[in-house]
Amino acid sequence: KSEEGGRPAPLRQKGIINTFGNFTRYHFDPWTLRSQVAFQTGSYGEDDRQAWGGYVYLDRNFNDLPLKPRTSLGYYYLSGNDPSTSKHEGFNQLFSTYAWKSELYNLSYINETGTGYWTNLQMYQLSLMFKLTPKASASLLYNFLRANEPQPGVHASFGTGKTRGHLPMIKLDYAFSKNVSAYFLAEYFIPGSFYVDTADEALFLRTQFEIKF
């Protein structure tokens, strides 16, 4: 990928991103292990680029139990830029600037790198999904977020720590038919030391009704 620069950090400098990655999935019933890792080289302005990103997940299905629960334990890592080095270590997510893992925390990147630009992140995630009925399901998630590099001075809302915070979530899905569905999503963010002491907690709610044709 080639970037022209001139946009908010981390896109303010021209850059070249070469990304080499690998995806692995191993199924050993009733468990599934899946992981992906990517290494990035290239340039960012006059600096060399060297960044890492990836995740690992362990999934478990309980199809013999009522509600057929499915649980997952996962870890995500996106390297952050260390201003004390001569290299640029911030992971570049290439083309996927969107809500990704959270509608709410996606917005918190506005003052850091821009909305939808996920980087400088460690995320530990525990999720549990239930099949309530043939048409309805419920998902419960807990996320603990950390930063690899603190960002004091970048914005007035940033502190000196690396703990981004806690992010519990709940989502209810219902499929009326093959082409008609709806969901309710609730997210609650509790900020940590990555932000200043006066940072407020945040709540995000969404109800969506969707028709496909």
Global pTM reads: 0.91
Collapsing DSSP states into helix, strand and coil, what is residue 8?
coil
With a cut of 70, which residues of the chain have pLDDT below it? 7-11
**Alpha-carbon gap, residue 205 to 208, rounded angstroms:** 10
Per-residue pLDDT at 153: 84
> CA-to-CA distance for 190 and 185, rounded, in angstroms?
17
> What mean pLDDT is reported for the chain?
93
